[in-house]
Amino acid sequence: MAMPELARTSPFAVPPEPRVLPRIAGVGIIVLSLACMGFMVRQAEKSAGLVVNKGTLVVKRCEERGRSGGRHSAGTYDVCFGTFRSDSGRVLRDGAWLRGWHVTGEKVRVYREGYRYQPVSWRFFWGRLAFFFAGLMMVAYGLMVTVAGHRAKTPEEMRAAWEALRRKPAGPYASWLLRTGGAGAAACTVLSLVWS
Protein backbone atom coordinates (compact mmCIF):
# COMPACT_ATOMS: atom_id res chain seq x y z
CA MET A 1 0.00 0.00 0.00
CA ALA A 2 1.47 3.34 -1.06
CA MET A 3 1.78 6.14 1.46
CA PRO A 4 1.92 9.45 -0.43
CA GLU A 5 2.81 11.42 2.70
CA LEU A 6 6.13 9.51 2.92
CA ALA A 7 7.03 9.92 -0.75
CA ARG A 8 8.91 13.17 -0.17
CA THR A 9 11.03 11.82 2.67
CA SER A 10 11.78 8.44 1.09
CA PRO A 11 15.42 7.94 0.08
CA PHE A 12 14.08 6.16 -3.01
CA ALA A 13 11.95 9.10 -4.16
CA VAL A 14 13.10 10.43 -7.51
CA PRO A 15 13.99 14.15 -7.34
CA PRO A 16 12.60 16.39 -10.07
CA GLU A 17 14.60 16.67 -13.25
CA PRO A 18 17.02 19.62 -13.35
CA ARG A 19 15.74 22.51 -15.42
CA VAL A 20 17.60 25.29 -17.21
CA LEU A 21 15.66 28.27 -15.83
CA PRO A 22 16.35 27.50 -12.14
CA ARG A 23 20.02 26.96 -12.98
CA ILE A 24 20.15 30.39 -14.63
CA ALA A 25 18.42 31.83 -11.55
CA GLY A 26 21.03 30.12 -9.34
CA VAL A 27 23.86 31.73 -11.32
CA GLY A 28 22.04 35.07 -11.01
CA ILE A 29 21.83 34.64 -7.22
CA ILE A 30 25.57 33.95 -7.10
CA VAL A 31 26.47 37.00 -9.22
CA LEU A 32 24.12 39.32 -7.31
CA SER A 33 25.44 38.03 -3.97
CA LEU A 34 29.05 38.60 -5.01
CA ALA A 35 28.23 42.15 -6.16
CA CYS A 36 26.49 42.91 -2.84
CA MET A 37 29.42 41.43 -0.92
CA GLY A 38 31.85 43.71 -2.77
CA PHE A 39 29.64 46.74 -2.01
CA MET A 40 29.44 45.80 1.69
CA VAL A 41 33.23 45.39 1.95
CA ARG A 42 33.66 48.89 0.52
CA GLN A 43 31.06 50.31 2.93
CA ALA A 44 32.71 48.53 5.88
CA GLU A 45 36.05 49.99 4.84
CA LYS A 46 34.54 53.49 4.83
CA SER A 47 32.86 52.91 8.21
CA ALA A 48 36.26 51.98 9.66
CA GLY A 49 37.57 55.39 8.54
CA LEU A 50 39.68 54.22 5.59
CA VAL A 51 38.41 57.01 3.38
CA VAL A 52 39.76 60.37 2.24
CA ASN A 53 36.97 62.83 3.11
CA LYS A 54 36.64 62.24 6.84
CA GLY A 55 36.35 64.69 9.64
CA THR A 56 34.18 65.79 12.53
CA LEU A 57 30.60 67.01 12.51
CA VAL A 58 29.67 69.18 15.50
CA VAL A 59 25.94 68.72 16.12
CA LYS A 60 23.96 71.95 16.51
CA ARG A 61 20.38 70.67 16.39
CA CYS A 62 18.38 67.53 15.67
CA GLU A 63 14.84 67.08 14.43
CA GLU A 64 12.42 64.38 13.49
CA ARG A 65 11.27 64.31 9.88
CA GLY A 66 8.46 62.48 8.14
CA ARG A 67 9.00 60.37 5.07
CA SER A 68 7.28 61.51 1.92
CA GLY A 69 6.66 59.77 -1.35
CA GLY A 70 3.52 57.70 -1.06
CA ARG A 71 1.64 55.48 1.26
CA HIS A 72 4.38 52.83 1.50
CA SER A 73 6.99 55.20 2.89
CA ALA A 74 5.15 56.40 5.98
CA GLY A 75 7.15 56.91 9.15
CA THR A 76 9.71 59.24 10.61
CA TYR A 77 13.47 59.45 10.88
CA ASP A 78 15.92 61.61 12.83
CA VAL A 79 18.30 64.12 11.24
CA CYS A 80 20.99 66.18 12.95
CA PHE A 81 22.49 69.35 11.50
CA GLY A 82 25.82 70.88 12.31
CA THR A 83 29.21 72.03 11.09
CA PHE A 84 31.58 69.67 9.31
CA ARG A 85 35.33 70.19 9.55
CA SER A 86 37.60 67.88 7.59
CA ASP A 87 40.69 66.41 9.25
CA SER A 88 42.88 68.44 6.90
CA GLY A 89 41.15 71.63 8.09
CA ARG A 90 40.60 72.84 4.55
CA VAL A 91 36.89 72.03 4.36
CA LEU A 92 34.42 73.73 6.69
CA ARG A 93 30.71 73.32 5.95
CA ASP A 94 27.76 74.69 7.86
CA GLY A 95 24.44 72.96 7.34
CA ALA A 96 25.92 69.49 7.10
CA TRP A 97 23.41 66.79 8.06
CA LEU A 98 23.61 63.29 9.42
CA ARG A 99 20.86 60.73 9.94
CA GLY A 100 20.36 59.54 13.50
CA TRP A 101 19.88 61.26 16.85
CA HIS A 102 22.83 62.86 18.63
CA VAL A 103 23.27 65.21 21.59
CA THR A 104 23.66 68.90 20.82
CA GLY A 105 27.35 69.80 20.89
CA GLU A 106 28.44 66.19 20.27
CA LYS A 107 31.39 65.71 17.93
CA VAL A 108 30.64 62.83 15.56
CA ARG A 109 33.35 61.25 13.42
CA VAL A 110 32.00 61.13 9.85
CA TYR A 111 33.09 60.86 6.24
CA ARG A 112 31.66 62.89 3.42
CA GLU A 113 30.26 61.12 0.38
CA GLY A 114 28.81 63.57 -2.12
CA TYR A 115 26.42 65.74 -0.12
CA ARG A 116 25.81 63.13 2.57
CA TYR A 117 27.70 62.42 5.76
CA GLN A 118 28.03 58.92 7.15
CA PRO A 119 29.32 57.94 10.59
CA VAL A 120 32.78 56.46 11.09
CA SER A 121 31.89 53.80 13.61
CA TRP A 122 32.95 50.29 14.55
CA ARG A 123 29.30 49.44 15.09
CA PHE A 124 28.53 50.22 11.44
CA PHE A 125 31.72 48.42 10.37
CA TRP A 126 30.64 45.17 12.06
CA GLY A 127 27.06 45.56 10.80
CA ARG A 128 28.19 45.85 7.21
CA LEU A 129 30.54 42.90 7.57
CA ALA A 130 27.57 40.86 8.85
CA PHE A 131 25.88 41.50 5.51
CA PHE A 132 29.08 40.42 3.73
CA PHE A 133 28.99 37.06 5.52
CA ALA A 134 25.26 36.71 4.81
CA GLY A 135 26.24 37.11 1.17
CA LEU A 136 28.47 34.03 1.52
CA MET A 137 25.42 32.03 2.59
CA MET A 138 23.50 33.34 -0.43
CA VAL A 139 26.35 32.25 -2.71
CA ALA A 140 26.07 28.75 -1.20
CA TYR A 141 22.30 28.81 -1.79
CA GLY A 142 22.80 29.94 -5.40
CA LEU A 143 25.31 27.13 -5.87
CA MET A 144 22.76 24.64 -4.54
CA VAL A 145 20.04 25.93 -6.92
CA THR A 146 22.48 25.84 -9.84
CA VAL A 147 23.59 22.27 -9.16
CA ALA A 148 20.15 20.89 -8.23
CA GLY A 149 18.44 22.59 -11.17
CA HIS A 150 15.28 23.36 -9.23
CA ARG A 151 14.25 25.70 -6.43
CA ALA A 152 13.53 23.86 -3.20
CA LYS A 153 10.24 24.98 -1.65
CA THR A 154 9.90 22.70 1.37
CA PRO A 155 12.39 21.64 4.06
CA GLU A 156 12.41 18.12 2.60
CA GLU A 157 13.22 19.43 -0.87
CA MET A 158 15.93 21.65 0.62
CA ARG A 159 17.50 18.66 2.38
CA ALA A 160 17.36 16.60 -0.81
CA ALA A 161 18.94 19.43 -2.84
CA TRP A 162 21.78 19.84 -0.30
CA GLU A 163 22.29 16.08 -0.35
CA ALA A 164 22.54 16.17 -4.15
CA LEU A 165 25.02 19.03 -3.88
CA ARG A 166 27.17 17.13 -1.36
CA ARG A 167 27.71 14.38 -3.93
CA LYS A 168 29.05 16.87 -6.49
CA PRO A 169 32.62 18.28 -6.58
CA ALA A 170 31.23 21.71 -5.53
CA GLY A 171 29.71 20.20 -2.36
CA PRO A 172 32.62 20.81 0.04
CA TYR A 173 32.94 24.41 -1.16
CA ALA A 174 29.24 25.12 -0.67
CA SER A 175 29.37 23.56 2.79
CA TRP A 176 32.40 25.72 3.68
CA LEU A 177 30.64 28.86 2.36
CA LEU A 178 27.51 28.10 4.37
CA ARG A 179 29.36 27.43 7.64
CA THR A 180 31.74 30.37 7.27
CA GLY A 181 28.91 32.72 6.29
CA GLY A 182 26.71 31.65 9.19
CA ALA A 183 29.47 31.88 11.79
CA GLY A 184 30.76 35.20 10.43
CA ALA A 185 27.30 36.77 10.22
CA ALA A 186 26.47 35.71 13.78
CA ALA A 187 29.80 36.97 15.18
CA CYS A 188 29.60 40.31 13.35
CA THR A 189 25.97 40.83 14.40
CA VAL A 190 26.91 40.31 18.05
CA LEU A 191 29.90 42.65 17.72
CA SER A 192 27.74 45.34 16.06
CA LEU A 193 25.26 45.14 18.96
CA VAL A 194 27.85 45.36 21.74
CA TRP A 195 30.31 47.78 20.09
CA SER A 196 29.62 51.46 20.60
Say if residue 32's pLDDT is above 50: yes
**Residue 173: burial class (beta carbons within 10 Å; 0-12, 13-18, 19+):** middle
Mean pLDDT of 162-177: 90
The Cα 115–Cα 43 span in angstroms is 16
Task: State the average pLDDT over residues 4-11.
Answer: 48
Least confident of 111-125, 129-143, 172-186: 111-125
What's the confidence (pLDDT) of residue 13? 52
Contacts of 141 (CB under 8 A, 6+ apart): 29
How confident is the model over 42-73, as pLDDT tens digits? 999 999 999 988 999 999 999 998 876 555 55
Q: Global pTM?
A: 0.80
* pLDDT band at 148; cut points 50, 70, 90: confident
